[in-house]
Amino acid sequence: MAYFDAASAAPLHPVGRQALLAALDEGWADPARLYREGRRARLLLDAAREAAAEAVECRPDELVFTPSGTRAVHIGIEGALAGRRRVGSHLIVSAVEHSSVLHTAEAHGAGGGSVTEVAVDRTGAVDPAAYAQALRPDTALACLQSANHEVGTVQPVAEVAEACRAAGVPLLVDAAQSLGWGPVAGDWSLLTASAHKWGGPSGVGLLVVRKGVRFAPQGPLDERESGRAAGFENIPAVVAAAASLRAVRAEAAEEAARLRDLTERIRTRVPALVPDVEVVGDPRRRLPGIVTFSCLFVDGETVLHELDRAGFSVSSGSSCTSSTLTPSHVLRAMGVLSEGNVRVSLPPGADSEDVERFLTVLPRVVAEVREKLGAPVASGAAELVDGGGGALVVDALGRRCPIPVIELAKVIGDVPVGGTVRVLADDEAARLDIPAWCEMRGQEYVGEEPADHGSAYVVRRLS
């Protein structure tokens, strides 16, 4: 089985496994106690903190361990906002942040605070100038991920941090995806990360708060971790997290070059092997191991199941793989195709032969799924109505994407150049995928119109 989902969780690094097993025997006692076992546990905890701080490039007393990366985000945002409540309650986030950031922002807004969401371009990157324009006198905190978890795009953190510093606003950086590859550049104020993203054990997060940043931990106070992360420290997991971070950093330069070659192979060959594919994310400013693409006319969930049967573990941002049946917020913010989305995230040590086998299997899988869905051969599944005036109406109500897009593709050639097709659909994904199809095929997306049921998406034929 080829595991290609390291962006969700990287396999435990061998050095981390060794450290975990050793610390289970040596680090089980309470590090706050003065007897021998407690002192031994304290030494392990302090050494892990120093190793992690060295990797982050911060002071050890600025770094605390949390029960997860998500908790680090929650604690960091809530504490920073509370510490600067006299300044105001305005929070800035990007539209493609991890859900832990966006959920915290939603809670802040529901509690009476104000939130500005900065848009991204089609590669998934923010414009530093847009961040600077979003800053206000009452801005308490700004948040920006170092790199995107779904498409791998690296964000201009240093430029945004400079703008925030000039305005006197702290910047919190979610470095979960990038910290294993190197420290985050720029004059940021707070940083969060998660050990299972770099090959450490799950259940360990990092929160860094630079000296001088106003910070007020929320919730009941606790003497552990400088009062910022309550509860007994999981010392064996913390030790393993720090050991694995040090190990992956030692291998990072060589491994990054190797994985970039492999992902570039996927980026260039998939569009050549599979028709109607959009590779998303920045082609240059991206993480070494992530490549994401979307395939027209396929059900992403079915593609993932078929790839799993063929021996490949990959993930997706397609609407059909979400419990909410809505497209990924990242893909939506980028304005790219969400249907048939596949994210390949290679772990360190990924085999070149597995990548070649993936490139051999993928075209067959996509072709078989398209055939099952009736694309591009007309199936009569959608009702076609002459709307008059050179317009056709495709009734795809009650049908999930990619069916509305498939039916649009079937009939676009039946209208004259300059004529329009109105696609009636009630699947939320159609709002994203029909404009994305137009972008890929050189047709004009006129816009969305209200309809008795769902919405009408109007497309004008240009060629």
User: Which residues does the annotation mark as catalytic?
Assistant: 320
SS3 203: coil
Contact 296, 437 (CB under 8 A): yes
Give the Cα separation of 308 and 179 in Å (integer).
29
Are the CB atoms for 456 and 421 separated by under 8 Å? no
By the 8 A CB rule, do 391 and 422 touch?
yes
Q: Contacts from 180-183 at CB under 8 Å and sequence distance 24+? A: 180/10, 180/245, 180/248, 180/249, 180/252, 181/252, 181/256, 181/287, 181/288, 182/249, 182/252, 183/55, 183/56, 183/57
Cβ-based neighbours of 310, under 8 Å, separated by 6 or more: 361, 365
188: its two tokens: 């940021």
Angle between the N-to-C axes of helices 300-309 and 352-373, in degrees from 0 to 180, rounded to the nearest 10: 130
How many angstroms separate the CA atoms of 450 and 456, rounded? 6
**Token pair of 456 as six digits:** 């009408």
Other CB atoms within a 10 A radius of the CB of residue 324 amount to 8
Pairing status of strand 444-450 against strand 455-460: antiparallel
Structure letter (DSSP) for residue 432 = H
DSSP 293-353: EEETT--HHHHHHHHHHTTEE-B---GGGSTT-S--HHHHHHT---TTEEEEEPPTT--HH
Q: Which two tokens stand for residue 238?
A: 């913390």
Burial of 253 (0-12, 13-18, 19+ CB in 10 A): exposed
- Pairing between β-strand 63-66 and β-strand 205-209 as defined by DSSP bridges: antiparallel
